[in-house]
């Protein structure tokens, strides 16, 4: 290792500031790409991999290199129909099976996920662009934990507080996004199966591979045919699935725009719906907060997973008296972030998932500059190929600016200030979203006071982005409705009369 100066640049006013922060140069520490096994790329229907009847194909690429990883079959309307029929016939045996037997399958899947965790982590990193440190240490452990946790519920549903004999809904259509492909699958599939439902799941078009690898694990676990069906495809496949008359429940995670369209589409139908949508979380730092700890939380809150996180702390609200100090420490910390090869174990910030998402981030950042905010980025070398965006922080942000209102879904932080707790609450809640929030203060009473007033499904105190299968997650307002995880999450998959 050598000690080298790290220059940083200010981009909003195009001046260059050399902070000459000494940082360590690490030797590359790549995880073995050869560990990734490309799964069968056909549709998974009724326990078999099959060719599409009226679907097509899509190419999935490694966003860090633009290399095509695989050509994957996509489902058309007839394939959707076949999958829903398979799920319906699977539901008869699955729902009738005693909970303790269903639990055995879920435990088996959880153990298989653990056994294959390293290969799945590599596969997720190359298909999504996220750093191996995250897929290995966050995504995969949580994926297995969700199956273990829900396996535990499968034979105890009558003690969950939903009546003496809670019944499943039937067939669940599940549509998920690309930011946590396998984790979002686990959030959806594990509770559905534990409650006795069968599922037809559509992964996102840019990240279908770990869902197909999961289908292979379902076969290895001898899961009865039709209990899990996986249909890769784009929005048209999702739309055909959601519109199918044979489903009992839609669980959607994705953008607010598509969520609203699905809600309109299902209005008046008997199909149950839960929506996990976008966010624009406030991370509120009071002047009595432990600042170094808060800076770590701010960095984790917005740069974890390249900021492709629905609950990302994308609006930093800092008490005015400590604004300069927080921004100074934050930029110094940002200058140490390593952007690059997702498979390098030293990488903090990986690739943006797609060219389309990179375009969206670039456009919103340009809008921030045009509206008068000042952008700062560390000067880091970006690879020549692939989709990359430097960690960015905006100061001089006004609440009306687009970067303060719209979900950027990238590594971009907007800093605003407040003077009083009331002003912090007012600014934090001045958004159509309501998914998450963070509060940094040494006073427990202030944490409780804030948590009472913040319109957010999750409020973290002196930490950020903590997830656990026992804890319900979900939003208010345009962030959606329904909860995933914990006892509350079971309600979304049970036929409750109350
Ligand atoms: P998206 O809405 O474009 O796509 C999400 C999924 O819906 C994809 O699988 C897509 O193919 C499918 N889809 C697209 N059009 C559809 C239609 N008309 N009918 C049915 N399905 C359709 O969102 P995205 O860009 O993939 O994901 C990013 C969004 O997801 C962000 O807004 C983010 O905040 C949100 N998100 C929310 C949570 C949460 O738990 N609240 C978690 C992760 C991501």
pLDDT at 24: 65
Task: Give catalytic status of residue 276 as yes or no.
Answer: yes
pLDDT tens for residues 388-428?
999 999 999 999 999 999 999 999 999 999 999 999 999 99
Catalytic residue of the set 31, 124, 276, 478: 276
Residue 214, both tokens: 């999961």
Range with the poorest average pLDDT among 21-25, 147-151, 335-339: 21-25
Q: Is the pLDDT of residue 2 over 60?
A: no
Which CATH class name applies to 34-277+479-495? Answer: alpha beta
**Taking a C-beta distance cutoff of 8 angstroms, is the pair 463, 440 a contact?**
no
Q: What average pLDDT does the structure give for the chain?
A: 95
3-state secondary structure of 4: strand
Ligand 1 pocket at CB < 6 A: 175-179, 202, 204-205, 234-235, 238-239, 242, 253-255, 258, 261-262, 276-279, 310, 407, 409, 435, 475, 479-480
Strand partners, 315: 282, 414
Q: Supply angle C-alpha 454, 142, 157, rounded to 5.
A: 80
The CATH code belonging to domain 279-461 is 3.40.309.10
Under the banding of pLDDT at 50, 70 and 90, the label for residue 498 is low
Q: How far is the CA of 256 from the centre of ligand 1 (A)?
A: 8
d(C-alpha 168, C-alpha 166), whole Å? 7
- Fold match between domain 34-277+479-495 and domain 279-461: no
Q: How many CB atoms lie within 10 A of CB 346?
A: 17
Q: Is the pLDDT of residue 21 over 70?
A: no
**Top mutation candidate among 55, 182, 206, 258 for ligand 1, by most atoms within 8 Å of CB:** 258
pLDDT tens for residues 258-288?
999 999 999 999 999 999 999 999 999 999 9
pLDDT at 23: 56
pLDDT at 26: 81
pLDDT tens for residues 209-244?
999 999 999 999 999 999 999 999 999 999 999 999
Q: How many CB atoms lie within 10 A of CB 219?
A: 15
pLDDT at 5: 33
Measure Cα distances from 251 to 189, 197, 271 in Å.
Answer: 10, 12, 10
pLDDT at 13: 41
Q: How many CB atoms lie within 10 A of CB 199?
A: 27
Q: How far is the CA of 263 from the centre of ligand 1 (A)?
A: 13
Catalytic residue of the set 195, 310, 311, 380: 310
Extents of the domains making up the chain: 34-277+479-495, 279-461
Residue 139, both tokens: 């995504």
């Amino acid at each position: 290792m050598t000690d080298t100066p790290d220059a940083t640049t200010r981009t909003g006013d195009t001046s260059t500031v050399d902070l000459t922060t000494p940082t360590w140069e690490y030797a590359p520490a790549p995880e073995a790409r050869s560990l990734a096994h490309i799964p069968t790329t056909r549709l998974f229907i009724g326990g078999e991999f099959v060719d599409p009847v009226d679907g097509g194909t899509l190419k999935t690429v490694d966003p860090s290199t633009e290399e095509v990883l695989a050509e994957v079959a996509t489902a058309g309307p007839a394939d959707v129909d076949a999958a829903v029929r398979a799920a319906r016939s699977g539901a008869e045996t699955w729902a009738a099976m005693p909970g303790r037997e269903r639990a055995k399958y879920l435990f088996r899947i959880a153990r298989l996920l653990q056994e294959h965790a390293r290969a799945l982590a590599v596969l997720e990193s190359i298909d999504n662009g996220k750093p191996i440190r995250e897929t290995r240490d966050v995504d995969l452990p949580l994926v297995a934990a969700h199956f273990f946790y829900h396996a535990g519920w499968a034979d105890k549903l009558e003690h969950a507080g939903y009546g003496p004999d809670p019944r499943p809904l039937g067939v669940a259509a599940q549509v998920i996004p690309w930011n946590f492909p396998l984790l979002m699958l686990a959030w959806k599939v594990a509770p559905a199966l534990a409650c006795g439902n069968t599922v037809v799941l559509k992964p996102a078009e840019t990240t279908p591979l770990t869902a197909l690898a999961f289908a292979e694990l379902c076969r290895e676990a001898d899961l009865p045919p039709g209990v899990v069906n996986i249909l890769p495809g784009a929005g048209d496949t999702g739309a055909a699935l959601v519109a199918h008359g044979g489903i009992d429940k839609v669980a959607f995670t994705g953008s607010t725009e598509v969520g609203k369209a699905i809600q309109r589409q299902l209005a008046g139908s008997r199909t149950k719906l839960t929506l996990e949508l976008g966010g624009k979380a406030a991370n509120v730092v009071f002047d009595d907060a432990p600042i170094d700890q808060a800076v770590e939380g701010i960095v984790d809150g917005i740069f974890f997973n390249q900021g492709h996180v629905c609950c990302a702390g994308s609006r930093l609200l800092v008490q005015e008296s400590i604004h300069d100090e927080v921004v100074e420490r934050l930029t110094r910390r940002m200058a140490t972030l390593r952007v690059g090869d997702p498979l390098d174990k030293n990488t903090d910030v990986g690739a943006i998932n797609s060219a389309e998402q990179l375009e969206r981030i670039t456009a919103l950042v340009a809008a921030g500059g045009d509206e008068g905010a000042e952008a700062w980025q560390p000067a880091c070398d970006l690879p020549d190929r692939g989709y990359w965006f430097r960690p960015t922080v905006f100061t001089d942000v006004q609440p009306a600016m687009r970067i303060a209102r719209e979900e950027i879904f990238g590594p971009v932080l907007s800093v605003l200030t407040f003077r009083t707790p009331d002003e912090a609450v007012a600014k934090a809640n001045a958004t159509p979203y309501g998914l998450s929030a963070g509060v940094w203060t040494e006073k427990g009473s202030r944490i409780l006071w804030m948590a009472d007033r913040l319109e957010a499904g999750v409020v973290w105190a002196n930490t950020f982005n903590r997830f656990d299968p026992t804890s319900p997650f979900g939003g208010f307002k345009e962030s959606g409705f329904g909860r995933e995880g914990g006892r509350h999450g079971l309600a979304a998959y049970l036929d409750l009369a109350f």
